[in-house]
Amino acid sequence: MVLDKSYKNKMLAPIAAVLMLMAGIAYAQQDAQYTQYMYNTVSVNPGYAGSRGHMSIAGLYRAQWVGLEGAPVTQTLNIHTPLGYRGVGLGLSFVNDEIGPTSETYFDVDFSYTIQTSLEGRLSFGLKASAHLLNVDFSKLNQDFGQGNDPILQNNIDNQFSPNIGAGVYYHTQRFYAGLSVPRFLETEHFQEGTNPTTAKEQMNFYFITGYVWDLNPFLKFKPALLTKAVQGAPLQVDVSANFLFDEKFILGAAYRWDAAFSGMVGFRLSDEFLIGLAYDREITDLGSASFNDGSFEIILRYDFIRSLSNLKSPRFF
C-alpha cells in the first residue's frame, strides 16, 4: 500500500514508522513472520506435509511489537498427514495476518509426494494452492488521525480475492533436514478502482531452511537451525537458532534475526504427542526502544496423533 508523502508527514514518529513498514509489507509483500519456524515448517514449505509420519495439528499466535498501536498480529492453524503408504501427504492451513488497517487471510492446501533416497533419507516434492483475501479499512486511519476529508482514504478494500500457487522441496533424515520453497509464485496486484491510488502487490518469497540434531549425551540433544528468506524490495532475512532438548521433555533455545532481533525460546513436551512452545523477541532496531513497544510474543501448540510408540525411539526434534 502506498500513501502520499504529505499524509505521512502528519503522523507521529512511532505511528509513522509502523505505517511505513505496513506500506513496505503491502507493496513488496512478505509472508507472515515466525520465530518458532522450526515447529511450523509446513507454513513455508509444502514438501513438509505428511513428513512427520502421522497426523499433526498446530496452532500459533504471534503479537509483534506489543504496545505499539497497529502492530502486526498473526494467527495460524495447520493440519497435515501422510495418506496411506504411497508417499503422499496432504495439509490444510489457515493464516490471518493483521497490521494497522490491513487484514489478510490465506487458506492453503498442501500436497506432497515423497521418495526414499536411502535407508533414512526422504526427499519430498510439494505443491501449495492458496486463496488470499485482502481487506483495508481506511476508516481506522480516519478515526485515529482525523483524515476524514482526505479523498485518498475514502474507498475501503473489502475481501479482494486472489488465488495463488507455490512449491517446495524438502529432504530429511532422522537428524538432518533442508528445504527450498516459494509458497506463492503469482505476483498479484490488488488495487481499488476510482480515485484511490492504493495498491498492494504480492511478491515471491524464497525460503531456505536447514537444521541438524546432535546427541550430546543420552539425555541432551542440540539442534542448530537456519531460515533464510529473500523477497524483492525487502532486506534479506536470516534467522539462526539453537535449541537444546533435555530428557525429551524440556526445550530451551535462543535465536538471532540478522540485524533485527534477539529471541528466547522455551518449550515443553507434556507428552510424546503434545508440545507447547513460547518465544519472546527483542528488537535491536530503533523500534526496540522501550518507549515504542514491549517486544514480540509467540505461542505455539502442536499435537501429533501418534498411532503407536512401539517402533518410535523418540518423537523427532523437527
Residue 195 in contact with residue 138, Cβ under 8 Å? no
pLDDT for the residue numbered 291: 59
According to DSSP, the β-strands at 176-182 and 157-172 are antiparallel
Residue 11 in contact with residue 4, Cβ under 8 Å? no
pLDDT for the residue numbered 158: 82
Q: Report the C-alpha dihedral over residues 229, 235, 237, 238, rounded to 10 degrees.
A: 120
Per-residue pLDDT of the chain (318 residues; tens, 9 = 90+): 333 333 333 333 444 444 444 444 344 456 788 999 888 899 999 999 999 989 999 999 999 988 888 889 999 999 999 997 789 999 999 999 998 888 999 999 999 999 999 999 999 999 999 999 998 887 776 555 555 555 555 677 888 899 999 999 999 999 999 999 999 999 877 655 554 455 566 789 999 999 999 999 999 999 999 999 999 888 899 999 999 999 999 999 999 999 889 999 999 999 989 999 999 999 888 766 655 678 899 999 999 998 765 545 456 788
- Half-sphere exposure (Cβ direction) of 92: Cα atoms closer than 13 Å: 2
- Residue found under cell 537428524: 175
The domains of the chain are located at 5-305
Residue 189 in contact with residue 203, Cβ under 8 Å? no
pLDDT for the residue numbered 137: 83
Domain 5-305 has CATH 2.40.160.40: yes
pLDDT for the residue numbered 290: 56
pLDDT for the residue numbered 309: 56
pLDDT for the residue numbered 101: 86
How far CA 111 is from CA of 60, 156, 306, in Å, comes to 21, 35, 21
Residue 82 in contact with residue 88, Cβ under 8 Å? yes
Q: Can you tell me whether residue 241 is helix, strand or coil? A: strand
Among residues 78, 83, 114, the alpha carbon closest in space to that of 96 is found at 78
pLDDT for the residue numbered 30: 66
Q: How far apart are CA 165 and CA 46, in angstroms?
A: 11
